[in-house]
A and B are shown apart, each in its own frame.
Chain A
Amino acid sequence: MFQSILVVLGTMFIVFVLFKLEGPESLARAILSTPKATPAQLNQVIKEYGFNLPPWDQLWHEILNYAQLNFGRSPATNQSVLSEIRVALPRSLLLVGVSLILSVIVAIPLGVFQTVRRNKPSDYTLTALSFIFYAMPAFLLGSLLLLLFEDHWHLAVPISESETVPQIAFNLRQITLPVLTLAALTVASFSRYMRSSMMDAMTEDYVRTARAKGAGQGRVLFRHAFRNALIPIITLIGLSLPAVAGGAVITEVVFNYPGMGNLTYNAAVNSQVQVVVATTVVATLLTVVGSLLADILYAVADPRIRYAHR
């Protein structure tokens, strides 16, 4: 818990320092979003946002504001950043969540299947495919899918800004492509890890013992090897949470999906400090929550951890 708070504070500090390097003038200019701002206007903005205060005071104010969920106001839309995040976050969670669940559902059986068919043509084919998908930039896959399904076959439609989460979720023509893009890349790495972790488990002593006692292949695979092989995968899911959020930036930009990644990208390109700091901190917070969830999942998968804590 202490470490989680430390991580969030540290993130704020790092992002904050990075932006302060820009200097108050250019920050104020970005907020006014006009290149021809007069010095008087600039000074007013600098005063209003407190850019002239000592850095430590600014950081302290920022932390206080964040603790009260006050993320400031977005200069572009004149809305509070909190309300923008409130709209964008559920959409991102939908996209990332669905694709993560989908990739786990696909990758784990794939890994098991490859273990069973080890060193056979189907194993080699799947391995080759996973290498190719792992090496493919997300925007390449996304653009190709867009090209085929949206422009060529007209099966998919773009997502508009005004859609609510249930509208996006139940409109398969909108959500399928972004989810597929994100999931394909995740499946590529997860299935490789699942395969090697399952292979490792199959060489363990307990598998040999189970075999010696006459357990069938199915029982050995699923009762003995499978649960042990899951543990590294859970670690991987926990570790990949920030990567998934980061990978979602590309996917969201490709499909113009109005989530956190798109919000951050547009804000960063327009030097909107408040928005970028807020989204980055929120994304980090989610990552921290995610890794706590991974810890809980460990205990579900591995009885040894469950009993050790009693």
Chain B
Amino acid sequence: MPTADVGGTDRSFAGLISGSSRAVVAPALPEIDQGSIVPPLETRAPEGGEAGSTGSIFRIIGRVFIENKLAVVGLVILIVVVAFCFGGPLIYHTDQLSIILRPITGPGTCGAGKINIGPPCPLGVDDQGFDVLGRLMVAGQSDLEVGLAAAFIATCVGVVWGAVAGFVGGVVDSVMMRFVDILLSIPSLLLLIVIATMFSPGKNQLIFIIAGLAWLTPARLVRGETLTLRTREYVQAVRVMGGTGRRIVLRHIIPNAVGTIVVNATFQVADAILTLAALSFLKLGLHYPQTDWGDMLTDGATYATSGYWWLIVPAGTMIVTTVVAFNFIGDALRDSLEVRLQRR
């Protein structure tokens, strides 16, 4: 089902054609600016007065964040996490490069005895002599970067793949979607292990590896959307006026599927962070000097029996809260888009 049906196509022209010109019949000549084509009235949301007032997906998202408590909670958590990871190191100076030989000590102390170096570490010292609080910030940077970048790449690839498959149809669609089916049937972690062992990856490689399997879900979703969208009157109208396939996909189909895409992208970030943690646990994630929460957690888990809770609890809390925050936002967005659908 289309979710952001009213948005995209006329968003950028909303100012030009709002009000009186809403019922204007689309210009007959293809050479005239095709962007100003007004979709037929019945494809718009019934409650919309001005074109764009209900339309823009960004407005809908904005409203979700105002109305939905869960989304607000998620967003606040996320802002705090981002501020902590990227802003934190500016205030709290920490050395995460030089390995200092010092014993593991609890919160408030930085090493023991003679090797009690520097200002007190609020969250203690880990097994490699790193200050845990500072490490949490640096690790969070890689987690957020990998999560967001992998989700972004996966979404872009998946959207284009799905839209092209759904729009072109026929043999092309079959071949493209069989390919997706095949990749989806392979247990993803097994494939990730195979790839990650081959490349002994850094941050950038990990982004591509994670995205390389994550794009399958948006591809399927967008293809489904495209199948329903391509029969719409406004797509037919563009076609009648000589709009190219490329134009229809990029300017009309993808913008109208944006709701589904955004919701899925939110979940993609959460999943990418979890995948990175899983890879780190298998020792296939980031290596020194880079680190991520999963890496910290895995290191900490080996000391779990010794009662060094500060090696596990902070990193574990960070992963869980960040993933929960993204899921809150995704859930809230999906709920509101579904409600909007039911209203129509």
Contacts and interface: CB of A to CB of B under 8 A. Distances in A.
A264 B193 contact: yes
Given A245-B190, A269-B197, A279-B190, A137 B319 contact: yes
B181 interface: yes
A10 B179 contact: yes
Interface string A141-178: 00110110001000000000000000000000000000
A308 interface: no
B185 A284 contact: yes
A134 B327 contact: yes
A287 B191 CA distance: 14
B216 to A, nearest CB: 11
Contacts of A6: 178, 182
B263 to A, nearest CB: 13
SS of A interface (majority)? helix
A245 B319 contact: no
Contacts of A15: 186, 191, 194
A91 to B, nearest CB: 16
B184 A242 contact: yes
A1 interface: no
A18 B198 contact: yes
A118 B312 CA distance: 35
B304 A7 contact: no
A297 interface: no
Interface residues of B, number: 41
Contacts of B188: 242-243, 246
A135 B64 CA distance: 22
A280 B191 CA distance: 8
Nearest to A245: B187
Contacts of A11: 182, 185-186
A287 B189 CA distance: 14
Interface stretch (A74-82, A220-228, A247-255): A247-255
Nearest to A136: B320
Interface in B302-317: 304-305, 312, 316
A115 interface: no
Contact of A249 (B186, B189, B320, B324): B189
**Which 4 A-B pairs give the minimum distances between C-beta atoms?**
A246-B189, A135-B323, A10-B182, A246-B187
Interface of A: 3, 6-7, 10-11, 14-15, 18-19, 21-22, 131-132, 134-140, 143-144, 146-147, 151, 242-243, 245-247, 249-250, 253-254, 261, 264-265, 268-269, 271, 276, 279-280, 283-284, 287-288, 291
Given A18-B195, A246-B189, 8 more contacts: A7-B185, A14-B186, A137-B281, A137-B297, A249-B189, A249-B282, A265-B193, A268-B194
